[in-house]
Structure 1
């Protein structure tokens, strides 16, 4: 899908038994509760397995690779509990970058069926120059970590990747840094960065994408 403002009607969802378990990865300064609305929306739509991780620490003091290993462990635990071969992952803000690192460089592409990035700093954010910490510095435009991710010629393997972003983001600067190369893209007219997790159009789009029938890749 091209970068266009999205209005979502009631989607036709795959049967419950065809839906993958969902792992939700929050952003800087947040915890699992950041996804309360989305988790409730998915559960109401029939998802039997939705889990939100709380990254430790959550303040950007630890590096993105360390946090990515936490996500990898949570995904393995979720697969073990459910017996699923693959999982779907939704990452918000820093959590989207953490998930991207896991998928691209730590083998996550082998176990992630779908990855939805919501307002992730994939080309960095100028706001990171105002903060301190290893993870914060890795979110600065041109950082070594971002360059390593951008060099990967085939980053996604069989993982289906989607990028949701808003052109009015005042946390990801410039807002276009949330665009993710190789991803199916949706742009939403949402006024503020944190509202991307509460806007009904975004939540409905997550349900639509995660609930759509799988395409063999």
Structure 2
């Protein structure tokens, strides 16, 4: 794996929270591994809930996730039931339509398997989140992980605002980025080099301020 240590700025998003597949749901197996990579390289002081593999701070119950809704960045790597109910450990559930006024305020990032992005993002924005990154449609796991890593590089190392970071990922996938390519783990390099990701450039979307 290519080494990206030293390229990131770990002073950003110190209170970032990763909810990593708390129920062990089929189709979300990749979330735990990618969470480990992102936390090691870009978010060394982050909080891990669910199946975060290492440095676990909680199992990812509804109460635990609710307690961290005010994080500067919240990655919701969990299942979502319509219209906006998070499927969490326990099993427990957290209805995002009922958390208004819960001191939310940062960026929420959803996995590509979250269904009904408009409804989920509406609930998160109504709850007080400043923005939501999500997906127009399902994306193959190798492509999704590569896109998410690019996104986090742009957010942390590049210091870009979320909507600009999303646009930068799209530009990169289309091969139209004239800047030097960011240092990426080898498996992401292979995915991007294979051309599979090109057709998914517009799947990543941002809603918010």
Q: Normalising by structure 2, report the TM-score.
A: 0.43
More strand by share: 2
Larger relative contact order, structure 1 or 2 (CA cutoff 8 Å, min sep 6): 1
TM-score (norm 1): 0.42
